Chain A
Amino acid sequence: MLEFDGLHKSYGANRVLDGVSFAVAPGSMFGFCGSNGAGKTTTMRIAMGLVRADAGEVRWEGRPLDQALRRRIGYMPEERGLYPKMRVGEQLTYFARLRGLDAAAAARAAEHWADRLGLGERRRDQVEKLSLGNQQRVQLAAALVSRPEVLILDEPFSGLDPVGLDALAEALLEQVRGGVPVVFSSHQLDLVERLCDAVGILARGAMVATGPVAELRRREPGRLLRVVVPDAPPGWAAALPGVRVVSERAGDTLLELAPGADDQAVLAAALRTGRVGHFAWREPSLVELFREAVAEPAEVAA
């Protein structure tokens, strides 16, 4: 188990983390969401020993992370960093050796990962000669090359084209199948929803929601009803009791029902307008869950 336990961090008067806690099981993928400046990067940097927490700790298999344990973690920083003038293969070998592989094993691992992420042809090129997307792949390879027990990736998908994105997703899923817990942060919520076993939403320095996406959906109190009534006049549902119109476009209407409001009364009203093409409860997407979770008080500090 990779446990983040009660992390607090302030920079002067600015409280960045205010008790962040969550756990990631081995062999599962955890999506870490939050607005810009919510504290995702700080949380990950604390785990990697780059920032010291004011309180709380991060544990792997029950032991607080120290320098030796951290060498077993593959890390991809938010601000990508590689030696621009070093060749891809040498660079990967170097990072593998820093994490404890011997020279021969490191060279083999570097070759393996370069091939695996489609960089086989570019192994002898300097990193600065590569496109940004390819540099991103090298960065990921640098995180994977030492056969890490844990992966912590800050915005690994940003800046990738769809092909690169699929390759990266596949590589991560393979790690998960091998029993590695993977934590990554992302703003691409559809991707998080598709890949992750569990998500955590960070807002104002604390986790406002954690758990599997399906479970978060069930917890969501608001009830959305989608009704498609092509022949209805605009504003057909506005007067129904306990019903708020979220959106309405050419009869495709999204309604939010207050607790106790009667969905059958909505159906009856819809039928009165003519043909009903669609009538169903709508599961909130992660984007909606995210908005709901993040936007609670009036304004969120960006």
Chain B
Amino acid sequence: MASGPRTPGSAALVRLVAAREVSSRIRDKNFIVSSIVILVLLLGTMAFQVVVSGGDEPSRVAVVGDDGRLGPALEAQGESVGVDVQVVEADDEAAARAAVEDEEVDAALVDGTGPAPELVVLDRDPALEAVVGGAVSGLAVSDRLLEAGVDLRSLPEVAVVPIGDQEDDGQQVVVAIIGVVLLYGLLILFAQFVAQGVVEEKSSRVVELLLATMRPWQLLAGKILGLGLLGLGQIVVIGVVGVVGALALDLVDVPGELIGTVAVVVAWFVLGYAFYACVFAVAASLVSRQEDLGSVLTPASLLLVAGFFVALQAAGEPGGTLARVTSLVPGLSPLVMPVRQAAGEAAGWEVALAVVLMLVAIGLAVRLGGRVYSGALLRTSGKTRLREALRAERA
């Protein structure tokens, strides 16, 4: 034993505490089981989506005598109205009719660029008819205009400005709801881990030995940081699995927005966790037995549950007064704001204000909480009142 003990700094102590939390929790059965359950649920949800949307097959259109412009025009027209069109070349009219009768294709377009185009269908399909009609007349119009010497490049294009509930945002809202459910579950889980850890140290009296080597805030910070990193790791893994899975299974239209929404959820997890972990830890420090934990955690848990239900409500009405107000309230905002952001309903200043208010709340929780925590930690008999803990002094 050559090297003597040196005095570890705050950072080193916090790191040691955090490392212990991670290494003991990672071997904990509850943690392993909950991680697996969450991943299985997520993969299950995606598999379900694949099955449900599996009926959405593309419309197949057989084209006779295409000069190379009709196919792309049909596909482009289909895309613009949300119908997936697949174009198949047919040799002649008879082959096209046979294909429709055999239900190999949904429709056959005969003489598409000629003077009397004809669409052969088994049953009428208004959407498909509109697509084909649009494509055919579009081609015809541009042909006539070209013949008349009109320059098509000077035609104005319509810029689209979405102002209401768009279908695209609808998909982001679904992602946000899944995110909020996960967020809620992980916040509860990890805040509970923090609370249980605090009570474990109190009930086993090991806290006296710990406080002989470090200050209460160092212990609290290490515990929250360690478990927080674990929680962050878990939600990032879930996010990556979710995004990769959704892209691989082709469940989303706009990957960029999906990733953006997932990133927003992860960011709100960090803020929400910092707040709830601190509040739960402080509440837990007031009791000395795991059995008493439920009663002190109830108020903070209720806030979390309220945020969860408001967030579900906000998914339906992201611009409503309830959603707008609660998305700013610290404690509720981590659950409500991601939904509004995904719906494209939150203004930049609202997000900024919600973040600032949340940071202020975290700051207050850490300061006040730290005092209660240090005042209550060494009172290992029964339940300590909040006011007593605030007044209690410590060296």
Q: Which residues of A contact B (CB under 8 A)?
A: 46, 48-53, 67-68, 70-73, 75, 77, 79-86, 94-102, 105, 108-109, 112, 142, 146-147
A contact residues around B236 at 8 Å (CB): none
Of B1, B206, B394, which one neighbours A108 at CB under 8 angstroms?
B1
A205 and B333 alpha carbons, distance in the complex (Å): 54
Known contacts A82-B206, A98-B210, A100-B7; is-contact A50 B378 (Cβ 8 Å):
yes
B contact residues around A50 at 8 Å (CB): 208, 211-212, 378, 394-395
A contact residues around B124 at 8 Å (CB): none
Shortest distance between the CB of B16 and any CB in chain A (Å): 6
Interface size band for B: 20 to 34
Of B5, B206, B208, B210, which one neighbours A72 at CB under 8 angstroms?
B5
B8 touches A100 (CB 8 A): yes
Q: Which of B233-252 contact A (CB under 8 A)?
A: none
Shortest distance between the CB of B1 and any CB in chain A (Å): 6
B1 touches A147 (CB 8 A): yes
A79 touches B205 (CB 8 A): yes
9 closest A-B pairs (Cβ-Cβ)? A81-B205, A100-B5, A81-B206, A52-B395, A79-B205, A77-B208, A49-B395, A48-B212, A98-B213
A71 touches B206 (CB 8 A): no
B7 touches A79 (CB 8 A): no
Of B2, B205, B209, which one neighbours A75 at CB under 8 angstroms?
B209
Shortest distance between the CB of B264 and any CB in chain A (Å): 37
B contact residues around A48 at 8 Å (CB): 212
Shortest distance between the CB of B31 and any CB in chain A (Å): 13
Q: Which of B201-247 contact A (CB under 8 A)?
A: 201, 204-215
- Interface presence of B111 (CB below 8 A): no
- Interface presence of B3 (CB below 8 A): yes
Which residue among B5, B7, B378 has the maximum number of chain A CB atoms within 10 Å of its CB? B5
Shortest distance between the CB of B114 and any CB in chain A (Å): 82
Shortest distance between the CB of B224 and any CB in chain A (Å): 18
Of B200, B201, B205, B393, which one neighbours A77 at CB under 8 angstroms?
B205
- Interface presence of B383 (CB below 8 A): no
- Interface presence of B326 (CB below 8 A): no
Q: Which residue of B lies closest to A112 (CB)?
A: B1
A77 and B206 alpha carbons, distance in the complex (Å): 9
Which residue among A70, A97, A112 has the maximum number of chain B CB atoms within 10 Å of its CB? A97
Q: Which residue of A lies closest to B394 (CB)?
A: A52
Of A71, A77, A108, which one neighbours B213 at CB under 8 angstroms?
A71
- Interface presence of B24 (CB below 8 A): yes
B contact residues around A77 at 8 Å (CB): 205, 208-209, 212
Q: Which residues of B contact A (CB under 8 A)?
A: 1-8, 13, 16, 20, 24, 200-201, 204-215, 378, 380, 393-395
B contact residues around A86 at 8 Å (CB): 24
A258 and B367 alpha carbons, distance in the complex (Å): 65
Which residue among B200, B201, B204, B378 has the maximum number of chain A CB atoms within 10 Å of its CB? B204
A85 touches B24 (CB 8 A): yes
A71 touches B16 (CB 8 A): no
A contact residues around B20 at 8 Å (CB): 94
A contact residues around B207 at 8 Å (CB): 81
A100 and B1 alpha carbons, distance in the complex (Å): 13
Known contacts A49-B395, A75-B212; is-contact A105 B1 (Cβ 8 Å):
yes
A contact residues around B3 at 8 Å (CB): 101-102, 105
Shortest distance between the CB of B5 and any CB in chain A (Å): 4
B378 touches A98 (CB 8 A): no
A94 touches B16 (CB 8 A): yes
| Additional 13 contacts, C-beta under 8 A, given A83-B201, A102-B3 | A46-B395, A49-B212, A50-B208, A51-B394, A75-B212, A80-B205, A81-B208, A82-B209, A83-B200, A84-B204, A108-B1, A142-B209, A146-B5
A contact residues around B206 at 8 Å (CB): 81-83
A102 and B207 alpha carbons, distance in the complex (Å): 22
A99 and B214 alpha carbons, distance in the complex (Å): 9
A-B contact pairs, 29 of them (CB 8 A): A50-B395, A52-B393, A52-B394, A68-B7, A70-B212, A71-B213, A72-B5, A77-B208, A79-B208, A80-B205, A81-B206, A81-B209, A82-B206, A83-B24, A83-B201, A85-B24, A86-B24, A94-B20, A95-B209, A97-B16, A98-B16, A98-B214, A99-B8, A99-B213, A100-B7, A100-B8, A108-B1, A142-B209, A146-B5
Q: Which residue of B lies closest to A152 (CB)?
A: B212
